[in-house]
């Protein structure tokens, strides 16, 4: 944990919905959603590996597996982990709250609410320049049973791209991971640059990385696996095989694979509010009555790394707004932990 670093960005939009007359409304201020990355480095690492989770917000196996490794003891190698690259979509539990982020790497408008997050992710990748980047996802179905399904697969953009032999590494990971998996992995080659079948992949993270000289793979657990535990376990097994190729050793990895639930932080968040300049802290359901015209600021949400506050019925990109009343869900990623109801 002493190696983790934080980049926090300011909100993209401040907006005021017309929910009530100005003399009756409450004013709300929410904190910026963090863009967090975690750097783990052993003495004299041979390779640098970068893990990206959460580009699609409803693929919890991917970002939970990445997040789990943040607390790991790294014995060999170097890791940069960005578990929640699309935190807004994770909190909303949808693929893309502002559209599919994984189609925004070739080009993104500065007016897009995802713009700063995508640009921060690009900057981190280009600054770090890993030996390999692994984009983590949960896809539908089981590829080995249905070639049109993306679940349970290792995905490459080409058999070979310039000096990167993508097939050999992906095939190694698939074959060795399958020894430990009940639901076996397939291998998908999208032929991103030599065919028009998957032109959309040119806009995706791995396609963008390859164009910028960075070796990249995508790994997919299946959304149809019976539990979050099985999704996380599938990701960790695939990562273990990549780690063998890149001389990464994690002390707890086998125990994480055996019992993923033991390493997931499900603790209760704590929210700190400032109401008319007075500070209050809550960690359970609460109904709050305030005077008309009050100012309510969410000062902080502490607890699990996935803890944040979500205003119901309000655009999640907004940082400041007025409303007559508000229900706020305090979540740990996609799981609601408790709610705060504020009325005047």
Q: Is the pLDDT of residue 295 over 70?
A: yes
Q: Which domains does the chain have, with CATH numbers?
A: 4-32+266-343 (no CATH), 34-263 (3.40.630.10)
| pTM as predicted | 0.93
Q: Is the pLDDT of residue 267 over 50?
A: yes
Q: How many CB atoms lie within 10 A of CB 287?
A: 10
- Predicted pLDDT of residue 24: 86
Mean pLDDT value across residues 258-282: 97
SS3 83: coil
* Calpha distance 241→250 (Å, rounded): 12
Q: Beta strand pairing status for 278-282 and 326-332? A: unpaired
Question: Which residue do the tokens 């430990």 mark?
Answer: 180
- Predicted pLDDT of residue 17: 43
* Calpha distance 308→305 (Å, rounded): 9
- pLDDT-derived band at 22 (thresholds 50, 70, 90) equals low
Task: Retrieve residue 277's tokens.
Answer: 């300049």
Nearest Cα neighbor of 57 from 285, 282, 310, 230 is 310
- pLDDT-derived band at 9 (thresholds 50, 70, 90) equals very low
User: What average pLDDT does the chain have?
Assistant: 94
């Amino acid at each position: 944990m002493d190696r983790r670093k934080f980049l926090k960005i300011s909100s993209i939009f401040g907006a005021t919905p017309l929910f009530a007359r100005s003399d009756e409304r409450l004013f709300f201020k929410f904190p910026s959603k963090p863009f967090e990355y975690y750097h783990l480095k052993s003495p004299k690492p041979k390779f640098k590996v970068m893990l990206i989770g959460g580009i699609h917000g409803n693929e919890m196996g991917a970002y939970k597996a990445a997040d789990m490794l943040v607390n790991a003891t790294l014995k060999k190698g170097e890791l940069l982990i960005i578990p929640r690259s699309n935190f807004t979509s994770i909190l909303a539990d949808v693929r893309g709250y502002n559209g599919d982020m994984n189609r925004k790497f070739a080009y993104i408008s500065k007016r897009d609410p995802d713009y700063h997050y995508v640009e921060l992710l690009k900057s981190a990748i280009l600054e770090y320049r890993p030996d390999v980047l692994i984009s983590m996802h949960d896809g539908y179905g089981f590829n080995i049973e249905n070639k049109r399904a993306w679940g349970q697969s290792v995905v490459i953009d080409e058999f070979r791209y310039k000096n990167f032999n993508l097939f050999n590494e992906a095939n190694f990971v698939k074959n060795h991971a399958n020894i430990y998996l009940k639901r076996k992995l397939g291998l998908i080659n999208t032929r991103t640059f030599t065919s028009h079948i998957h032109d959309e992949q040119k806009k995706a993270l791995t396609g963008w990385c390859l164009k910028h000289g960075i070796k990249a793979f995508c790994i997919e657990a299946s959304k149809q696996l019976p539990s979050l535990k099985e999704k996380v376990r599938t990701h960790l097994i695939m990562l273990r095989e990549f780690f063998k190729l890149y001389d990464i050793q994690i002390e707890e990895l086998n125990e994480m694979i055996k019992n993923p639930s033991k390493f997931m932080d499900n603790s209760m968040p704590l929210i700190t509010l400032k109401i008319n300049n007075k500070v209050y802290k809550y960690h359970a359901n609460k109904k709050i009555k305030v005077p008309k015209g009050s100012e309510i600021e969410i000062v902080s949400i502490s607890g699990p790394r996935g803890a944040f506050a979500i205003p119901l019925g309000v655009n999640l990109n907004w940082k400041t707004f007025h409303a007559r009343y508000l229900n706020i869900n305090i979540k740990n990623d996609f799981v609601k932990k408790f709610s705060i109801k504020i009325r005047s």
